[in-house]
Amino acid sequence: MTPLRQRMIEDMQVRNLSPHTQTAYVQQVSLFARYFNQSPEALGPEQIRAYQVHLTNEKKLAPGSILIAVAALRFLSPETPPGPKKPQKLPIVLSPEEVLHFLSCVPSPKHRTILTTCYAAGLRISEAVRLKPPHIDSQRMVIRVELGKGQKDRYVMLSPRLLEVLRDWWRLEKPKPWLFPGDIPGRHITSHAVELACREAHRASRISKPITPHSMRHGFAVHLLERGTDVRTIQLLLGHRSLATTARYLRIATSKVCSTTSPFDLLPQPAAPEPKPAAPQHF
């Protein structure tokens, strides 16, 4: 391992970035160095700018992918040019009826229980697959999410209906140490395996809207909002650092936002015109 890579890894560890993020950033720096066929130590802000142009015009990468590369290259040079502005696209959200139908199309009890948990508790798929039986607290009716995004712990609601689903899964498999074990002994199921199962269920459901495991989390937030839950509570349940991130769901909650009375309907009604006297009849 080169001294530069060692220093970068140490800097990322000091910032407490997740192992997944560290691996992705190291890979991005390797791709950057391979493009110029030089050591990253010999490359600076001008080369980083040229690389961004390459990723944009030649590789045709999405802004989100380019921003990952920019974040990684910032560990090499604090003078890294800023990345592109990421478009603020709104996710397409399933209705409660569509969620129910979709889950009924997931044949595997394990995959169906995981996706149900994502919807019922608003979990990311990476958080759901890492659950352990002790994380399900039926006394306090909460689920403990350990080291979610941003390396933060939090508690989320445990609905009575979800508790029954999880108990049915427990009685079926008696899983340990992970609530949802994978094919490799001692390891939990991978997010990729659930994504593949989600894809198959999507085809079987014949729902025209796009569906991913994250759609369950989006549905959780929007359906709570449409039922009157305040944004701050939803922020805490989702584990968002910024309230602005949660507030974007206000633009999707159509039954709440679009049901607001238009000011046009509050205007006074104009007085009805006086009826004109009938013209005299001539025979």
Q: What is the pLDDT of residue 278?
A: 60
Spatial separation of the C-alpha atoms in residues 161 and 167, rounded to whole Å: 10
Tell me how many domains the chain contains: 2
CA-CA-CA-CA torsion sign (207, 209, 213, 219): negative
CA distances from 126 to 68, 103, 123, 282 (A): 19, 19, 8, 88
- pLDDT of 217 strictly over 60: yes
DSSP letters spanning 141-189: TEEEEEEETTTEEEEEE--HHHHHHHHHHHHHH---SSSSB-SSTTSBP
Tokens found for residue 187:
């390891």
Q: Which residue has the higher pLDDT, 52 or 80?
A: 52
Mean of pLDDT over the chain: 87
CB 117 within 8 A of CB 219: no
Q: What is the pLDDT of residue 142?
A: 94
Residues 39 and 128 in one domain: no
Residues 231 and 138 in one domain: yes
Confidence of residue 283 (pLDDT cuts 50, 70, 90): very low
Q: What is the pLDDT of residue 273?
A: 66
Residues 49 and 118 in one domain: no
Q: Domain range spanning residue 47? A: 3-73
Amino acid found at 225: L
The residues near 224 (Cβ < 8 Å, ≥ 6 apart) are 122, 233, 234, 237
Q: Which residue has the higher pLDDT, 102 or 280?
A: 102
> What percent of the chain clears pLDDT 90, i.e. is strictly above it?
53
Residues 113 and 245 in one domain: yes
Torsion of CA 95, 99, 105, 111, to 10 degrees: 150
Q: What is the pLDDT of residue 256?
A: 54
Spatial separation of the C-alpha atoms in residues 188 and 131, rounded to whole Å: 9
Q: Which residue has the higher pLDDT, 199 or 75?
A: 199
Q: Which residue has the higher pLDDT, 110 or 269?
A: 110
Q: Is residue 42 part of a domain?
A: yes
Is 149 considered catalytic here? Answer: yes
What's the rounded mean pLDDT across residues 115-144?
95
What's the rounded mean pLDDT across residues 67-95?
85
Q: Is residue 270 part of a domain?
A: no
Q: Is residue 265 part of a domain?
A: no
Phi then psi dihedrals of residue 114, to 5 deg: -65, -50
CB 153 within 8 A of CB 144: yes
Residues 216 and 251 in one domain: yes
Q: Is residue 268 part of a domain?
A: no
- pLDDT of 255 strictly over 60: no
What distance, in Å, lies between the first and last C-alpha atoms of the chain?
112
Q: Is residue 136 part of a domain?
A: yes
Q: What is the pLDDT of residue 81?
A: 83
Q: Which tens digits make up the pLDDT trace of 221-233? A: 889 888 888 888 8
Residues 36 and 110 in one domain: no
- pLDDT of 252 strictly over 90: no
Q: Is residue 271 part of a domain?
A: no
Spatial separation of the C-alpha atoms in residues 200 and 142, rounded to whole Å: 31
Residues 25 and 64 in one domain: yes
Is 202 considered catalytic here? Answer: no
Q: Is residue 130 part of a domain?
A: yes
Q: Which of 112, 202, 217, 218 is catalytic?
A: 217
Q: CATH code at 44? A: 1.10.150.130
Q: Is residue 193 part of a domain?
A: yes
Q: Which of 149, 154, 209, 248 is catalytic?
A: 149
Is 240 considered catalytic here? Answer: yes
Q: What is the pLDDT of residue 262?
A: 64
Confidence of residue 277 (pLDDT cuts 50, 70, 90): low
Q: Which residue has the higher pLDDT, 202 or 153?
A: 202
Is 140 considered catalytic here? Answer: no
pTM exceeds cut of 0.75: no
Q: CATH code at 198? A: 1.10.443.10
Residues 134 and 189 in one domain: yes
Q: Which of 54, 59, 144, 214 is catalytic?
A: 214
Q: What is the pLDDT of residue 280?
A: 58
Q: Which of 110, 111, 112, 124 is catalytic?
A: 124
Residues 121 and 63 in one domain: no
Torsion of CA 181, 185, 186, 187, to 10 degrees: -50
Residues 12 and 46 in one domain: yes
Q: Which of 25, 51, 119, 249 is catalytic?
A: 249
Is 217 considered catalytic here? Answer: yes
- Specify the DSSP element, H or E, that contains 202: helix 191-205
Q: What is the pLDDT of residue 132?
A: 95
- pLDDT of 139 strictly over 90: yes
Residues 31 and 164 in one domain: no
Residues 66 and 116 in one domain: no
What's the rounded mean pLDDT across residues 70-77?
89
> Does the N-terminal peptide bond of residue 275 adopt cis geometry, omega within 30 degrees of 0?
no
Confidence of residue 174 (pLDDT cuts 50, 70, 90): very high
What's the rounded mean pLDDT across residues 93-98?
92
